[in-house]
Amino acid sequence: MIDTHCHISIEDYDDIDLVIKEALESGISKIIISGCTKESIVESLKISSNYSCIYVTIGYHPSEADLITTDDLLLLEKQIQSFPVVGIGEIGLDYHYGKENINKQKNLFRKQLELAEKYHLPVVIHSRDATEDTISILKEFPNVKGDIHCFSGSKETAKIYISMGYMIGIGGVVTFKNSNLYKVVEEIGIHSILLETDAPYLTPSPYRGTINSSKYIPLIAEKIADILNISIQEVSDITTENATRLFDLK
Ligand code: NI
């Protein structure tokens, strides 16, 4: 199984070796980590170069929109050229805390989609309370494909993204008792799903309240198998194929 999206940082984990060892022991073959601030990009590139099972996507998160300069975008492009990154992200729009810097967010999002197009890389999309604008900006880049990470919208929205060539990232939220995400899983089926933890956040049930890590991917796979009434092996095989194809993992 592949954890297609998480964050690994020494700030969150005392022992990164142990985090990776535990993930491998629980049946995870590959982990895609995301660096999404200037600092975490540097750290993520370093971590991924130290472990053959770790792949990396880089890109500035929408919450960084006020901080990122033209020079920072040039630095990102240089990093894309210099390291074997498998995608750009997480990038997108986040209106949860307000819309004051909406134009800066949109500008940063478009600039990074241009890089994805230029370097033929998939994108990992963060969209929070911003579905309409996310869809309309992605439509400006019909050649770019990617992952709608930590999807939490309606089944109708999921179908729109899929029709645009995107995969849907399903994480720990699907295991929460009050979550309606099962309706999305039922509707879209296993061929459009990527497994992800978004660790260290969003720990699946029954470990909510503790720090998340890639070792919990099987809990998410188990829940999806349950919803779709298929075997865990099938969830594992098909989501691994989905991720391998989208991110061109070797
Ligand atoms: Ni994330």
CATH number assigned to the domain with residue range 2-247, chosen from the 4 options 3.90.1150.10, 3.20.20.140, 2.40.10.340, 3.40.190.10: 3.20.20.140
pLDDT of residue 197: 98
**Tens digits of residue pLDDT in 15-40:** 999 999 999 999 999 999 999 999 99
CA of 234 from ligand 1 middle (Å) equals 25
CA of 59 from ligand 1 middle (Å) equals 11
CA of 171 from ligand 1 middle (Å) equals 10
Residues 6+ apart with CB under 8 A from 225: 231, 232, 234, 235
Q: Within 10 Å of residue 70's Cβ, how many Cβ atoms? A: 8
CA of 189 from ligand 1 middle (Å) equals 23
CA of 124 from ligand 1 middle (Å) equals 9
CA of 141 from ligand 1 middle (Å) equals 22
Report the share of the chain in percent with pLDDT over 90.
100
pLDDT tier for residue 235 given thresholds of 50, 70 and 90: very high
pLDDT of residue 148: 98
Q: What are the residue boundaries of the structural domains of the chain, listed by start?
A: 2-247
pLDDT tier for residue 156 given thresholds of 50, 70 and 90: very high
pLDDT of residue 106: 98
Q: What angle do CA 117, 43, 5 make, to 5 degrees?
A: 55
Mean per-residue pLDDT, 114-129? 98
pLDDT tier for residue 65 given thresholds of 50, 70 and 90: very high
Collapse the DSSP code of 222 into the 3-class scheme (helix H, G, I; strand E, B; otherwise coil) and give the result.
helix
What CA dihedral angle connects 63, 66, 67 and 72, to 10 degrees? 90
For β-strands 2-6 and 146-148, DSSP reports them as unpaired
pLDDT of residue 73: 98
Residues 6+ apart with CB under 8 A from 220: 170, 171, 172, 174, 175, 195, 196, 197, 204
The answer to whether 57 and 30 are in contact (CB under 8 A) is no
pLDDT tier for residue 125 given thresholds of 50, 70 and 90: very high
pLDDT of residue 23: 98
pLDDT of residue 141: 98
CA of 83 from ligand 1 middle (Å) equals 20
Element (H, E) at 126: strand 123-128
Mean per-residue pLDDT, 161-182? 97
CA of 34 from ligand 1 middle (Å) equals 7
Mean per-residue pLDDT, 164-180? 97
**Tens digits of residue pLDDT in 141-155:** 999 999 999 999 999
Question: Which residue has tokens 């019909």?
Answer: 142
pTM: 0.97
pLDDT of residue 165: 97
